[in-house]
Structure 1
């Protein structure tokens, strides 16, 4: 398994703690490295300044006048003169004299170039004869009026030892900081993810018990609080959907019971007549078969309405298309005239295009017209108009009491005065849902002119008319 895969396999709080510790470690390491480099530079600068400040030219002249210098020679038994540095003279011919210090210095090409005046003063790193690292400053000097190089050196231990101590201190502090950051990151992760743990427990509880009444505390305005509120909204919506589903099943069972009971009774009467040999009078048999047919029709209509309402409210059926509402209303009028041949239908339909499902819109308009046919008196009139996206169907029946109007679009709700008439109480629910899916609304109200009857209004926003189809010449 790759390191990335292993990292992703860790729990979220462990990943957060590891990321925090890594970020702190990188930051501390960067600060420590920069600090070490800056201190090293300062110490080296101080060492170079002290080398430049060492004034041994007068003493070098005294030594030279006293004993001279021989090529490759030195005075190992000469006592130190407490210059806190190692000093020697290098002449142009390579001769050198030890002036002060505990060790002799190696004569380098840089020293000869300074002594021979081929270069200026130089600073460089070197070692003593016994291998001790030193910092060397070779400067021009005059020894008994001869060009020479006065070489001053100090051990680099004056710099390296404090730097080594500083490195160990920084390493210790960095380690403590990283460990502390990891512990703090783990604590922060646990504290910050506590609402997520509560959310996880709630989800697991719901999955285990199907209890949608669980709510998570959602105080605050941070992301966790927003997530908790979203979860609470989701569970509330699911609970409401579950409640509506249970209510729909209960209402559907209640509505199906009536036609099924009547149908079963009529079929049992027919079966008993066949079994006993006692014939039912022709007129009664005709009425009985007509009742069976009517109950079957009502049952089929109720099942169709239930199927329509069982579809999701969004994204159901065919994709929305631009359709001609006036053509849909005209087709629905043709069907309504067949169902109420004794009624007088008048229509005024202005062109209006909408975005929706043609079949669903036609069913909604048919449901509105069916209500008008059902409640219109024999020989009554039904007026249908379509203007500026508002389809109005006016009947001249008994009307609906004002206190019942808020309930007309509820599923399975039926007016007490209409319960003896055929129907399932789902037609207007389908109308309201279809209108909402098309971005519109449905309304039922008393006649605007104050006369008898009811007006049903279907409002749907318009859409650009589709371009006319071009029929090629034959």
Structure 2
């Protein structure tokens, strides 16, 4: 459908605002003009009625007019310069009026005044020539000859309604002209207001189009004031800043991943080329060297697979990083992770004090995070040393007795691909602690690494508790 509302919505926002402003002003001006016209008409009518009520007709004029009506051939018609139409009405409804005036229609109200049923009446009537008149009729008496009683009559004085119709007509044209000028001015003002008010929106539109066209995320919109447009501008600036930061992190991730992948791939290619050259030339590699090469290839493949798995874990969107959260026993997950850590560090002593604690998390991701923390402790612990693990009221502490982490390196331990200069010769991708921090944060907790008293490093994972699940087979 292409109705008026559809066509209105199809207009540009600037035109719609100008049209709405012009319409609102037009309605307001029309309402004021109509009210002004009606008020003026009421005042003019009241003024005319008051003038008629206060009009007095000279008794001599009444007598002369009555005498003229009795015998027009013997009397001169009376004259008046007051602009009033004066008409006499007797008990039979007979009208007496000067020849210069057009007789007025006589109604029941006029006859009621003649019969003294009412003292006066005010109404609108038509003259014989069709002119609308405002008529005031009141009782009166005309003196007759000696010995004769006064004649009871009614006197009607009237003025044409054109005396107020013409000013009202002039006022209507003036109001119409002023209203038209006001509407046109309102439309122009509305268009100016729309342009001024939407200028920040135009700037925002241009910025968005520029970003879409050039992918330049450094564009910023000046923010002025505290209105909705300013909030929108600040939101856009925050969005582009976040996108720029995300893109920078993505580029840094790709660069770091390429750098980390280059080392195992280069070593792997070198070993494979040595094995291939031995087969091509027929020069057998000594068994011990061949076993060393194969072990190196296997280790590099393992490192490469681990690195790719970590990259995939970090590259997944936030919605897919974890499975559904559920209430799990943190002490049980830690105990399972400890078993794997003891297999990887058989020469180490790992002590554990695990108090029951339940958390809401994704079990597999949480177990991997704890395994990473324990692997980190195993990796940096000297042979024969001890690793202390304690869980108390949601606070999991892993303390090793290794070389520790320098204070200037602590702020970087959770960054992707960051590795301490002293640990670059050890296996690992530099992604383990980054994955741990993300998993713990998704579970509502936090993690911190700090130097331990007496040497070594202490890792502390704090997770909020959850209600203990009921035993299997027992309804909640």
Fold similarity call, TM over 0.5: yes
Q: How far 1:348 moved relative to its partner? A: 1.5
Which residue matches 2:271? 266
- In 2, are the aligned partners of 1:75 and 1:98 still within 8 Å (CA)? no
**Deviations 1:283-313, CA, capped at 9 Å, x for gaps:** 2222222222211111111111111212345
Question: Closer, same or farther in 2 for the Cα pair 1:123/1:367, shift >3 Å?
Answer: same
Instruction: Give 5+ residue unaligned stretches, structure 2.
Output: 144-149
**Distance of 2:96 and 2:117 partners within structure 1:** 21
Relative to the length of structure 2, the TM-score reads: 0.91
Which residue matches 2:359? 354
Aligned length: 468
Matched, 1:342 2:341: no
Matched, 1:421 2:426: yes
Which residue matches 2:462? 459
Could you say what secondary structure the match of 1:5 adopts?
Answer: helix
- In 1, are the aligned partners of 2:61 and 2:78 still within 8 Å (CA)? no
Q: How far 1:213 moved relative to its partner? A: 1.1
Which residue matches 2:403? 398
Question: Closer, same or farther in 2 for the Cα pair 1:337/1:92, shift >3 Å?
Answer: farther
**Distance of 1:344 and 1:461 partners within structure 2:** 29
Q: How far 1:132 moved relative to its partner? A: 0.8
The counterpart of 1:285, out of the listed 259, 284, 290, is 290
**Distance of 1:321 and 1:76 partners within structure 2:** 121
Q: How far 1:255 moved relative to its partner? A: 0.4
Question: Closer, same or farther in 2 for the Cα pair 1:64/1:165, shift >3 Å?
Answer: closer
Question: Closer, same or farther in 2 for the Cα pair 1:141/1:463, shift >3 Å?
Answer: farther
**Deviations 1:215-246, CA, capped at 9 Å, x for gaps:** 11113323222222221121111111111100
Could you say what secondary structure the match of 2:157 adopts?
Answer: strand
- In 1, are the aligned partners of 2:65 and 2:98 still within 8 Å (CA)? no
**Deviations 1:92-120, CA, capped at 9 Å, x for gaps:** 21112115863221122332233234455
RMSD: 2.5
Q: How far 1:163 moved relative to its partner? A: 0.5
Q: How far 1:445 moved relative to its partner? A: 1.0
Q: Write the mapping of 1:23-422 to structure 2, written as runs, cut at 5 A.
A: 23-56=24-57, 58-59=59-60, 61-63=62-64, 66-67=67-68, 78-98=77-97, 102-119=101-118, 121-144=120-143, 145-313=150-318, 316-422=321-427
Matched, 1:17 2:22: no
Question: Closer, same or farther in 2 for the Cα pair 1:442/1:104, shift >3 Å?
Answer: same
**Distance of 1:334 and 1:79 partners within structure 2:** 135
Instruction: Give 5+ residue unaligned stretches, structure 1.
Output: none
Relative to the length of structure 1, the TM-score reads: 0.92
- In 1, are the aligned partners of 2:30 and 2:179 still within 8 Å (CA)? yes
Could you say what secondary structure the match of 1:104 adopts?
Answer: coil
**Distance of 1:300 and 1:76 partners within structure 2:** 136
Could you say what secondary structure the match of 1:13 adopts?
Answer: helix
